[in-house]
Amino acid sequence: MAGPGFTFVEAINEVVETIGEFPMSGATKPSGLSPADTTSIYARAEEFIDRYNKRVQSQGFPENTVFGKAYTPNGSDNNNVDLLPTVLRLQSSGPSEHRTLTIRVDNADQATPKIFDARLNSFNLGTETVFVDQVELLAFGNLTPHLQDIIIGLSKVAFQRRMQGNLNMDTALMQEYAQAEAQIERNIADIASQPFNQRPMVPGMGQPQQQRER
């Protein structure tokens, strides 16, 4: 299902314009053709967009971040938690915030990424449910126009640098990318759990408070 933004082909056409190419015909991206197109300039542009689609989304934005995701370790599999390949990033949250959870591939099962407890140096997470905030890879067509703009902007910069290397064009494309960055919404820190009375009542008085170690 398409989102409110640009189609993948529209993104390809915007990328190839940076080196003076005409838009591609049709509404199917090169990899979706039969047989698949893997050699044209449009196929190269698709590769660049795919790269930056994953790189940009892995940073985590409101539309692809899931907060407080609960996972129950699989007792029949050494209390492991398997992840979908679309999970790009995670961190412990909520009741599990004291743990250092991350993504890692087990050498014994390299086909499936798992949640790894870095402090325990183990994939065995125990029997209790763990909670994480995770970043998920969404289809390009389902993203908002603002996030698509960042992906397209970085793709245009990299594509033009590799294919043509025009320094004047590079500067112009970087300005377009910077404008897209200025428009995007980002995740906002939850300040509800911050302790009370953190600053002196009289401005400039008192010593800066030290952060408590966890």
* String of DSSP letters for 58-111: TT--GGGEEEEEEE--BGGGTTB-B--TTEEEEEE-GGGTTS-EEEEEETTEEE
Rounded to whole angstroms, the Cα distance separating 118 from 138 reads: 27
Q: How confident is the model at residue 1 (pLDDT cuts 50, 70, 90)?
A: very low
pLDDT reported for residue 143 = 95
Q: How confident is the model at residue 101 (pLDDT cuts 50, 70, 90)?
A: very high
Instruction: Measure the N-to-C terminal CA separation of the chain; round to a whole number of Å.
Output: 44
What number is the average pLDDT over the span 59-75? 96
- Residue 118's nearest CA partner among 135, 100, 133 is 100
Q: What mean pLDDT, rounded, does the chain reach?
A: 91
- And the tokens for 151? 């992906």
- Distance of CA 210 to CAs 101, 134, 199, 200, Å? 25, 29, 12, 14
pLDDT reported for residue 5 = 86
Beta partners for 136? 87
Q: Tens digits of per-residue pLDDT, 137-165?
A: 999 999 999 999 999 999 999 999 999 99
Which residue, chain included where needed, has tokens 């398409």? 2
pLDDT reported for residue 79 = 97
DSSP secondary-structure letter at 49?
H
Q: Tens digits of per-residue pLDDT, 158-189?
A: 999 999 999 999 999 999 999 999 999 898 87
pLDDT reported for residue 56 = 96
pLDDT at 124 exceeding the cut of 80: yes
Q: Is 84 exposed, middle or buried (0-12, 13-18, 19+ CB in 10 A)?
A: exposed
Q: How confident is the model at residue 109 (pLDDT cuts 50, 70, 90)?
A: confident
Contact 185, 144 (CB under 8 A): no
